Structure 1
Amino acid sequence: MLTGMEGSLTGIAPRQLTAVLTRRLTEEPAIVLNGPRTVGKSTLLHALADRTGSPVIDCDDPATRAAVRNDPGRFVSGPGPVLIDEYQHVPDLLSAIKAELNRDLSPGRFVLAGSTRYTTLPEAGQALTGRVDILEVPPLAQAEIDGSPGDSLVCRLLDGADVSSDAGPSTTSREEYARRITAGGMPVVLRRPPGRSRSRWFSNYLDLVIERDVLELSRVRQREMLPRLLRVLAARSGQILNIVGTASAVGMEKSSAENYLKLLEAVFLVMRIPAWGTTLGSRVARQPKVHLVDAGVMAWLLGLTPEKIATNDPATLTEYGHLVESFAVGEILRQVTWSDTPVSVGHFRTAEAQEVDLVLERDDGTVFAFEIKAGTRVDRADLAGVRALRDRVGGRLGAAVVLYTGAHTFRFDDGTLVLPMDALWTTAGR
């Protein structure tokens, strides 16, 4: 339950990523922690600072930022790890770090944290290519919010485990799903009581990201269009991206909408899931899907609350279905970041609109399919996309999983496993 838990989230670090970061520090000379504002990147840095005795250089602080801009080389020299928060405010740091790494490529020299996607910075392409490891820090997963991440469902699947024996009957109610999904995974908002306090936070958060982070990346001539575009994308989250239709809905040129979409991706408000399996035949869709990164942000933009969802209004339930998909996709992708297994990610859709919401492909070619349903029932008609995928990949399909909000775990005769959605965050045996 979320109720009564918010106070325990103060200063919470993404627990699984703490272990991943510790491992990578023994292997990589420079690591970039990349993710939205307020998700725990600074907490990770300060936890590392406490262990190593190294200070955190906070470039979000105006005085520190001015000093670093004046002499970036001074702040990156000396023994590691050098810990720098919101490094993107001083791009010259990357060139100074490159010069240091040219002299010494020992593991664990630099850990940088930033709220702007590293690959979108113009300096990134020429500075640390081949020398930096990027570690995504997404909003908190539900298991982290509950304080019991353990061995995740996705990591066990990627390791080849049979997860069907882990799950007993779910006790998560429809109301509890709605509370979790509309709250999202931002630690700061989870400390606030539901209602106006959270709504104010989401409003202020989006204003900050758009007014500060986006405009720092690029001069935007139509700044007022960014919130409009974000709301349209929220309404189309979990769907195939039609940039022409999206631009028309906002009243923008296609080229401007594409450029603004890239900016929203750069600050981790929006993500694209590429089409998967485009080499499997001409009748496989090639367009990406678009998702909001955090379900709480998406719910706020759409005005979806647990109370509104409970009215069972058909239009609201349609929006909620898209929200559930974006929420579950986010949960799965968070768990992918906890695994050291190289994985490519996509969605699968045929010309006949048979689709699988999320496909993971391991580096050995093994494929894992996830279909997501907001309802409490799953029947054979819901497996059309899985069947189409299985027909194309054959024995490469390692597992096909349908996540739904019902209570029971079962298998169809083709091997497709149906799991309650809370299997993504509950422990074995519940």
Structure 2
Amino acid sequence: MTEKKYLTRTLTSDLLRISNNDKVLLINGPRQIGKTTFLQHIAESGRKYVTFDNKTDLQFAKTDSKGFLETFAPPVIFDEIQYAPELFPCIKMLVDSSDARGQIWMTGSQQYNMMENVTESLAGRVIIIDMLGLSLYERDGLGEKQKAFLPSGNPQAILKKRNIPETFKLIWQGAFPDVIYRDEKSRKDFYDSYVRTYIERDVSKIINVSNEVAFITFLKIAAARTGQELNIANIAKDVGISQPTVKNWLSVLRASGIIYFLQPYFKNITKRLIKSAKMYFLDTGLAAYLAGWTTSEALETGISAGAFFETFVVSEILKSYYHNGETPQLYFFRDDKKHEIDLLIYKDGMFFPIEIKKHASPTRSDISAFEIFSKLEKVSYGCEICLTPNLQPLTPNVVAHSIWDI
């Protein structure tokens, strides 16, 4: 295993700005994507740290919330706060009694009841920040330079360039901070442990999974469908469970930051548009592990290569927004004639269309749906993200470029 080093996260400056202006902040995201390490690394001297994975501290917080907050007085980091919702009313009283900023930093790894408790008890007092695994910029030591991505004729182009096999090695490897330093054998060990821990710690606390084998089968089948339109009936049939159970289990994956639903663009004036969401795993390494891709070479040449490349691009664009403290408005477009745009970013009254292709030879035919969509909405600059090594203009307002130019 390669020696680990801390990689600066894009969120650093934004989090410190928020902490200087607000009393409570919550970093929300999947387990083991570096939330705790990030907060501990940038915390000032004297800020306490408590994890609710520790059963003793958790019991203390649940049975004597007031005494707990007196013992662990601000400034403090509360890790995995979803396990101790009893603290929220006392946190509210505590921060209301002082004008101090940045009193409490929290992390959470599942949104089910936590978000309901946070919004009810700490409304107007907490800033919620989403965080995912390492972005390409963070991996390359350029976290402070990452911007929220929008198509343009002049992309940043400061990332280290990789060839196609190297690109799929990163897709297959995944973006958990701990996994990027591992060889192939220990990568598998990491994901074996991650899935087991995820089911034991998170899933079992959200729902009662009576058939763990069926749930693991469900995970594998869902992972194999990353980047595809969601078809609950097909998943239910393949797993051998009911459609309501599929919906429930998908909501668990979404709540714990494992998957993302990309909603379809829909306008009432036309009824010829697809209305089902597309499902993406937020970490392609976890998806590749669950789907049974044992090497990056097999993934690169396999039937799912295009879907995994698309998943990779969508997750990186999401990171560019989340890690800059922003929540993007993202959609996809498809009509009944199969005209499709993989990703639409809506910002400031305009749509920015993005086509994602796993090839190195982009052509204007790849973006034919852009013109169709422009008859429905105001369209700004667009792009095709593919495996081309060079920047290639396709029209005056659309350019093709690699994932390394986002």
Normalising by structure 2, what TM-score?
A: 0.91
Structure 1 counterpart of 2:203, one-letter code: V
Superposed displacement of residue 102, structure 1: 4.2
Q: 1:279 to 1:140 in 2, by over 3 A?
A: farther
Structure 2 counterpart of 1:367, one-letter code: F
State which drifts further: 66-75 or 294-303.
66-75
Q: 1:333 aligns with which of 306, 313, 318?
A: 318
How do 1:135-154 residues align onto structure 2 when only pairs under 5 Å count?
135-152=129-146, 154=148
In the TM superposition, what whole-angstrom CA distance separates every residue of 1:243-282 from its partner, at most 9, and x where no partner exists? Answer: 1222122111111110111111122222211223445632
Q: 1:57 aligns with which of 29, 33, 50?
A: 50
Q: 1:379 aligns with which of 347, 363, 384?
A: 363
**Which residue of structure 2 lines up, in the alignment, with residue 409 of structure 1?**
391
Superposed displacement of residue 140, structure 1: 0.4
Structure 1 counterpart of 2:367, one-letter code: L
Where 1:57 maps in the other structure, the secondary structure is strand
Where 1:265 maps in the other structure, the secondary structure is helix
The answer on 1:173 being equivalent to 2:163 is yes
Superposed displacement of residue 378, structure 1: 1.4
Where 1:66 maps in the other structure, the secondary structure is helix
**Which residue of structure 2 lines up, in the alignment, with residue 351 of structure 1?**
336
Answer yes or no: is the 8 Å Cα contact 1:119–1:125 preserved in 2: no
Gaps of 5+ in 1: 1-5, 425-430
Superposed displacement of residue 183, structure 1: 0.9
Distance 2:275 2:312 in 1: 23
In the TM superposition, what whole-angstrom CA distance separates every residue of 1:352-380 from its partner, at most 9, and x where no partner exists? Answer: 22222222212x21222222111112122
**Which residue of structure 1 lines up, in the alignment, with residue 402 of structure 2?**
420
Distance 2:147 2:170 in 1: 18
Answer yes or no: is the 8 Å Cα contact 2:9–2:38 preserved in 1: no
Q: 1:291 aligns with which of 280, 285, 299?
A: 280
Distance 1:280 1:41 in 2: 43
**Which residue of structure 2 lines up, in the alignment, with residue 427 of structure 1?**
none
Where 1:412 maps in the other structure, the secondary structure is strand
How do 1:23-62 residues align onto structure 2 when only pairs under 5 Å count?
23-49=17-43, 51-62=44-55
Structure 2 counterpart of 1:176, one-letter code: E
**Which residue of structure 2 lines up, in the alignment, with residue 116 of structure 1?**
110
How do 1:245-324 residues align onto structure 2 when only pairs under 5 Å count?
245-279=234-268, 281-304=270-293, 305-309=295-299, 312=301, 316=302, 318-324=303-309
Q: 1:386 to 1:345 in 2, by over 3 A?
A: same
Q: 1:244 aligns with which of 233, 257, 278?
A: 233
Where 2:124 maps in the other structure, the secondary structure is coil
Structure 2 counterpart of 1:382, one-letter code: D
Aligned-residue sequence identity (percent) comes to: 25
Structure 1 counterpart of 2:317, one-letter code: I
Normalising by structure 1, what TM-score?
A: 0.86
Q: 1:119 to 1:393 in 2, by over 3 A?
A: farther
Distance 1:307 1:343 in 2: 33
Distance 2:325 2:80 in 1: 25
Superposed displacement of residue 210, structure 1: 1.1
Q: 1:220 to 1:129 in 2, by over 3 A?
A: farther
Q: 1:408 to 1:95 in 2, by over 3 A?
A: same
Superposed displacement of residue 413, structure 1: 2.2
Distance 1:85 1:9 in 2: 22
Structure 1 counterpart of 2:350, one-letter code: T
CA RMSD of aligned residues (A): 2.5
Gaps of 5+ in 2: none
Superposed displacement of residue 37, structure 1: 1.1
Answer yes or no: is the 8 Å Cα contact 1:168–1:409 preserved in 2: no
Where 2:380 maps in the other structure, the secondary structure is strand
Distance 2:127 2:24 in 1: 6
Distance 1:403 1:250 in 2: 34
Aligned positions, number: 404
Q: 1:46 to 1:356 in 2, by over 3 A?
A: same
